[in-house]
Structure 1
Amino acid sequence: MYISDQRPTARQLWKQPIGILEVGILSAQGLLPMKTKDGRGSTDAYCVAKYGLKWVRTRTIVESFNPKWNEQYTWEVYDPCTVITLGVFDNCHLGGNEKPGKDSRIGKVRIRLSTLETDRIYTHSYPLLVLQPSGVKKMGELQIAFRFTCLSLAHMIYLYGRPLLPKMHYLHPFTVNQLDSLRYQAMNIVASRLGRAEPPLRKEVVEYMLDVDSHMWSMRRSKANFFRIVSLISGLISLSKWLGEVCQWKKPVTTILVHVLLCILICYPELIPPTMFLYMFLIGLWNYRSRPRHPPHMDTKLSWAEAVHPDELDEEFDTFPTSKPQDVVRMRYDRLRSVAGRIQTVIGDMATQGERFHALLSWRDPRTTSIFIVFCLLAAIFLYITPFKIVTLIAGLYLLRHPRFRSKMPSLPSNFFRRLPARADSML
């Protein structure tokens, strides 16, 4: 979901670059001590940047909580909808340690190039956030400067209508298992190649930059993805609430205006598409005021990292297979069964609604199918002899009728649909 290179493997199929990305890795401020050296806290920080096939690494600034690198790098850009990743690490291989540990993670920054204005220089400090078993922690800030220079605006706009991946991915798509296997093999190949570089990039650095553990089960990520879906449909929920208020005449002036708009659109149906596009145009102009001034970064609220339970974090950082005691594994397994049970119920309800639609014409319940096909015949005759504008007007006025003409009981179509048979009774 945050790919940095979408070119084919064969160089003969590469297109011309559309722009240049310049990144200046300036400094870091307020880094926390990552290890103890001579009885005091110390950090030997370096920064790694990865975009496309090119990985770069700054020099290591020894024993400094405010390292200054002031190094600049450039990349050719072939697609604007890509992401550059920068990570800061503590070097644990200095000082002649006989048994050096792994390089520690300090934090990571991702920047999507499509969110950048062309030819604008950005100088911004990004917080370095890392998730630990004790919770999310700010490890400092990374100050970087970057600019995306576009070589051809027309070519870049043309790319927005092109497929993301090469043609072969759509002719012969990979299965999910094949993708997972290829990602794992590619990570090992990249890690072994960069491990032979000078200075070398350790395997733990490559794994962190490539997010190799993103497919592992995490209660926190599951909650975060659920609330991402909720936020997406919140607009539809708000629209349905507004429509409900209009139908209930809670704001009579708004309801009258909706009646007038309904009559105008029914009398002139050719105005419906341009009105929709004009409305979206006005929404876009209205939202221009609240556009982000800086490229977005890691969001702890979106990641559900601030309100996560400590045991859920401990489970996320557990090894695979698990190394926890039997009673802890049993407790987590029971919790997982509880969550999966709720998901199973929701999926079963969705399947039930779909099977009820299918039962309308499948004759599983002969009476409901007979009633429905007779209704379809009568509706077809009625719609053939009645102008469509009259039908739409009657339907709209019925939907917007006053509350005194409404019943608090479910409607006839709703009652009929809920009585349709599903296949849940055929399951063991």
Structure 2
Amino acid sequence: MVQPINYYESLMPDLAGQALKETQNRLGQSQLTGLNLQNQQMQQQMSEQQAFKQTLSGAINDPQKLRELAVQYPSQLQNIQAQLGFRSAQDVAALDSTVNQLQLAISTGDPRNVAAALVQNAEVIQSKGVSPQQLMTMYANNPEQFNEVLFTVKLGTLSAKDQLAVLDKKEGREIDRGKLSESIRSNQASESLQARGQDISATTARRGQDIQMRGQDIGAENARLNREIKKAEFAQNAIDRQLKTETNQIKRDDLLLKQQEFKRKGEQAKTDKYDTYLSQINAIDQTIGTANRILDSPGFNGYFGININPFGNRYLPGTDAANTEALVDTLKSQTFLANVQLMKGLGALSNAEGQRVTDAIGKLSPSISEKAAKETIKTIISVTNKGKQRLDNKFSTEAEKYRKEQAAPSSNQSEYSSLWGD
């Protein structure tokens, strides 16, 4: 029996089959497009890598070219660091900390502070193949070039060794370590005990760097020095009374020797006490100066608050915002936190005030608004100024009196010398 022809089915298209075939075609095209894109990306990366290697060889000794290279090839920053001698993240962090301390020392304008910072970070500096003496010579001869090296090292684009080699060739200098040592000794030999500690002696500067003890420890040390001073003064007065009645020359000579020893101990205690005061005043002035420079810096608005362009130049070297960042880093350094503890130990700040300043320092970051940053920095300046005023009220009169005593001739010393016919 002949089956009737189903004209309906023969006329209807196979929609499901066509849809499946269309889907397969599109998937194939998508995969092909993806492979083409991957191939293009790989070729672009290889081309970029090749161009980067060629450019790096010509920029290895030029700080400006290295900065441009870091901007042009941001993905190659780790390669730059690896080829320039940075071993690890800890190595980069150590260099960053060293640069921060050097920038803080430079901001004071005192070469002795720069020398002290170089000595303090000698291990990190020498790990890069240079010496603190070489860096000090560069700072003395060309501060602008020295700052350029610091910025470059901070960003991790060039080792200090390569920077110094290029700069020494460019300037045609020879490192004369004998002259440098004599210059440092000359600076350390200059005497000063003036108000505000603007020109403190080398001993004062060294002591100011070495004091890292807790607040209660420096407070106890200050109390001990006060007792030592009073003990020496009491002993000298007692010997003065004995000398008025003693007629035996041998006994008088013995009393005078003892009196000179007590005087020496008393003067040493006073020197330690007032050197600590002067070094602390100097550190406070540095802190306030750094805070004011942040407020007045051209890059303040570029560093704090909203950065409209997500690919902006906030952290590029040489920009105003990068300079502001360096100042903020110096203000947040461990040196400042140690100074807060010293101020508490000397009675200049209460525990609450010290905590307030410490908290304010911790808040400083690019993520806070410009208004909040200004209020935070003004808080730091205000509280630190109060501490400075209290230190002045407590020590400045005694320090001035001691300075005059040191400048005046000693009557007891003259009497003692005359006994021996000198």
TM bucket normalised to smaller:
under 0.3
- Larger C-alpha radius of gyration, 1 or 2? 2
Name the structure where helix makes up a greater proportion of residues.
2
Q: Which has the higher strand share?
A: 1
